[in-house]
Amino acid sequence: MPTDQPTVTFLSDYGLHDEFVGVCHAVIARIAPQARIIDLTHGIPSYDVRLGAITLQRALPYAPPGVHLAVVDPEVGGRRRPIALRVAEDDRMLVGPDNGLLWLAAQRFGGIVEAADLSRSAYRLEPVSATFHGRDIFAPIAARLATGLDLHDVGEPLDPDDVTIQAMPLAEVEADEVVAHAIAFDRFGNVMLDLEHEELTMGVGLKLGEPVEINGERGVYASTFADVDPGTLIVYEDANRAMAVAVNRASARERLGLAVDGPVRIRRP
């Protein structure tokens, strides 16, 4: 993928208080000084692999094709493999731990067509720390890929079918209601659902502006927060074209008492 200015995107749960993100930037800059690094976020809650996977899947369609580095790695130093993947669309490559973090993004781009195990890569920084593979394995190999190396150059072949999947719940239509799940929350308390627009409109027959019942509470099927008064519960299509639940100027997560994977029952009142 050699270009005049290759792109490396970077997502992690490192936060910005410590030097971890800056050090990974520095490693990439020394190996691939021409690369443009785009920080997608470093605010993934610690160890939350699934939210990292969801965020990566939702963010990457807006990023230029390139190398996509992601590190949310609660089993660093354990048995999980460090891997790199090539996906079917746009010649994108993903680098990170084999714990499900890369899976949803890979599926978003047509699935995995090639994979490599980086455990014994010649491009690791030696000695490899037991606790900072972002610096010693993932960042330098992402940088090498950005300079034009291929997967077979940086690791050993890995069967794409052996890559760890990220299991997700599935919404279901039951009689006159849709049973979705709270797959993630943002900092405003908005609730991301495993539900597409068609499942809601066809499964329940809802139309924009109509009242809706969400876990027994009255709300509105709306386009945006400004369509309703403060404190009103809404179901809406979010910026990633998936359905979500919110309260205008308050937290739907708190209002409905939801936890991750908690059921969200949506029906016409």
Residue 54 lies in a domain: yes
Domain boundary among 122, 141, 162: 162
Average pLDDT, rounded, for the chain: 95
pLDDT exceeds 80 at position 7:
yes
**What is the percent of the chain with per-residue pLDDT over 70, rounded to a whole number?**
99
C-beta neighbour count of 10 within 10 angstroms? 25
- 143 shares its domain with 179: no
In a domain, 48, yes or no: yes
Please indicate, yes or no, if residue 1 is contained in any of the structural domains. no
Q: Are residues 126 and 66 part of one domain?
A: yes
The whole-number pLDDT of residue 161 equals: 97
Average the pLDDT over 37-50 and give the result: 97
Query: What CATH number does residue 251 fall under?
Result: 2.40.30.90
Does the structure show a pLDDT above 80 at 171? yes
Which pLDDT does position 175 carry in this prediction? 78
Are 52 and 148 in the same domain?
Answer: yes
Place 1 in a pLDDT band, splitting at 50, 70 and 90.
very low
| Whether residues 220 and 140 fall in one domain | no
Residue 239 in any domain: the answer is yes
Is pLDDT of 14 > 90?
yes
Number of domains in the chain: 2
Query: What CATH number did the domain enclosing 54 receive?
Result: 3.40.50.10790
pLDDT at 2 over 80: no
Q: What is the residue range of 106's domain?
A: 7-162
Cα–Cα distances (Å) from 91 to 32, 38, 114, 214, 264, in that order, read 19, 18, 11, 41, 37
At residue 174, the pLDDT reads 84
Q: Are residues 68 and 152 in the same domain?
A: yes
pLDDT tens-digit map of 106-139: 999 999 999 999 999 999 999 999 999 999 999 9
